[in-house]
């Protein structure tokens, strides 16, 4: 009887707990191993003790809410309970976000924000290249997608084959569509078919290598074009996407500012950022083959690359193949679009002073800088913990040394106390 009541209370509590959470996230078990091919599934592999997982939890609930109306099911698995799941999917850290579709599995490496995770899942859930069949759909696409690729023409021929192949490689990172001239209508400037476009900032830009007849050469050209064009003209550069930006092989031109916790940038820094953006917006043709512009809201990211604390705001250019970086000679406050253009010319002509690189000495210095900055940020984040972590062992060490080298002082103190007690007793 008692155990029945206990069971009842237990069930009631579980129901209350789960209904207050009211989350659309499915708590899964190792049954996933049997059903992961019946997806699409978007799964967070987590461990209850992991702080990053706890931080992701509210985001994950939003992701689940957002994707509720789609076919994508959003869940999570406690990998400390279901170790076989972690083992099967070779989970190396927590949280790991994975997408399952048929026989395919994808690991998410981007920023852990709702928008980025949702986009990742939406790109992968559909076919590699989605067909657009209604003209009005383009209004929605232009509104919802910051960047997308569009192939206009029949689903056959060499360009189509190559486009489809390249799309399957970049599916986690970009949206790919196909349509016909009558459907696209006025949305993109079609001269002939097939034509490839990339859409960003209200314009469709065409691919210009359609005349290449050599298959290998064409594949290489389309691959490079997609790889370089899949970013907005002036993206926010973060820990989560900088690696992808490095893969473009272009020079990164970064306006470095600082955001407060509410994601606001102070007016003077905002002005600087807009000024840098105006350079690429006005001279896209001139720069966009060799330079990818962007802005950074977390100076820490750039400090690690530059191996120094950069002033704010500032401008840095990074050669992504050699890892060299460049600073303009003018102070950031005095920079003008014209000065930036001169600076970029100097970099193109290889006569701007460069720093960093990939040499052995630089690598050593970089590691040392990283250790130093993580210690500093630890101290700033939690001085007490840092003191305990580094101070306690140091304290013990000095105690031990003290004991080894100065034992008689302790002994002497003890004797004195004893003597003092003895003299008290005598007085009594």
Ligand X SMILES: *[C@@H]1O[C@H](CO)[C@@H](O)[C@H](O)[C@H]1NC(C)=O
Q: Which residues bind ligand X (CB under 6 A)?
A: 165, 189, 191, 195, 206, 210, 219-220, 223, 250-251, 290, 319, 321-322, 350
Question: How many residues are recorded in the chain?
Answer: 428
Candidates 209, 206, 177, 211; CA nearest to 189 is 206
CB 95 within 8 A of CB 142: no
- Residues 99 and 92: their CA atoms lie apart, in Å, by 16
Strand order in the sheet with 291-296: 236-237, 291-296, 251-256, 314-319, 324-326, 355-356
Distances (CA, A) of 54 to 58, 61, 94: 8, 11, 10
- Residues 195 and 193: their CA atoms lie apart, in Å, by 5
CB 40 within 8 A of CB 121: yes
Our CB check for ligand X shows the closer of 96 and 319 to be: 319
Strand partners, 356: 324
Candidates 252, 214, 256, 215; CA nearest to 231 is 252
Candidates 104, 54, 47; CA nearest to 77 is 47
CB 200 within 8 A of CB 175: no
Strand partners, 256: 296, 314
Nearest-approach distance from CB 244 to ligand X, in angstroms: 15
CB 237 within 8 A of CB 295: yes
CB 83 within 8 A of CB 90: no
Q: Phi and psi for 396 in degrees, rounded to 5? A: -60, -40
401's tokens: 């040394």
Residue pointed to by tokens 């950074």 = 296
- Residues 41 and 25: their CA atoms lie apart, in Å, by 11
Q: What is the dihedral of CA 338, 344, 349, 352, to 10 degrees?
A: 100
Q: Three-state DSSP class for 345?
A: helix
What is the DSSP secondary-structure string of 278-329? HHHHHSHHHHTTTEEEEEES-HHHHHHHHTS---SSEEEEEETTT-EEE--S
């Amino acid at each position: 009887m008692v155990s029945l009541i206990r069971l009842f209370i237990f069930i009631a509590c579980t129901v209350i707990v789960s209904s207050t959470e009211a989350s659309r996230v499915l708590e899964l078990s190792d049954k996933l191993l049997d059903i992961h091919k019946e997806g699409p599934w978007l799964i967070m592999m987590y461990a209850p003790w992991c702080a990053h997982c706890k931080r992701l939890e509210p985001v994950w609930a939003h992701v689940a809410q957002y994707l509720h109306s789609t076919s994508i099911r959003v869940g999570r698995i406690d990998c400390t309970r279901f170790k076989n799941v972690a083992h099967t999917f070779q989970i190396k850290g927590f949280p790991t976000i994975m997408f399952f579709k048929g026989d395919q599995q994808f690991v998410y490496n981007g920023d852990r924000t709702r928008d980025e995770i949702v986009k990742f899942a939406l790109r992968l859930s559909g076919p590699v290249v989605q067909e657009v069949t209604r003209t009005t759909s383009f209004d929605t696409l232009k509104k919802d997608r910051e960047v997308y690729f569009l192939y206009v023409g029949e689903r056959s021929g060499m360009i189509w084959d190559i486009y489809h192949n390249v799309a399957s490689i970049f599916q986690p990172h970009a949206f790919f569509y196909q349509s016909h001239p009558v459907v696209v209508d006025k949305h993109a400037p079609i001269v002939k078919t097939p034509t490839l476009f990339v859409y960003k900032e209200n314009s469709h830009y065409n691919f210009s290598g359609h005349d290449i007849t050599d298959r290998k050469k064409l594949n290489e050209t389309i691959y490079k074009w997609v790889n370089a064009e899949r970013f907005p003209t002036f993206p926010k550069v973060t820990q989560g996407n900088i690696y992808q930006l490095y893969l473009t092989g272009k020079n990164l031109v970064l306006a470095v500012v600082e955001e407060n916790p509410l994601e606001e940038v102070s007016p003077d820094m905002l002005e600087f950022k807009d000024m840098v953006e105006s350079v690429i917006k006005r001279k896209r043709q001139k720069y966009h083959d060799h330079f990818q512009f962007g802005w950074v809201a977390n100076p820490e990211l750039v400090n690690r690359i530059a191996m120094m604390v950069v002033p704010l705001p500032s401008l840095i250019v990074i050669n992504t193949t050699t890892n060299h970086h460049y600073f303009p000679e003018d102070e950031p406050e005095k920079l003008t679009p014209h000065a930036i253009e001169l600076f970029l010319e100097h970099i193109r002509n290889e006569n701007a002073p460069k720093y960093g690189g990939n040499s052995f000495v630089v690598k050593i210095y970089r590691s040392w800088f990283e250790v130093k900055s993580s210690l500093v940020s630890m101290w700033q984040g939690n001085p007490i913990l840092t003191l305990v972590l580094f101070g306690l062992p140091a304290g013990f060490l000095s105690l031990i040394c003290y004991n080894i080298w100065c034992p008689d002082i302790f002994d002497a103190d003890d004797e004195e106390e004893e003597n003092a007690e003895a003299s008290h007793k005598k007085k009594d």
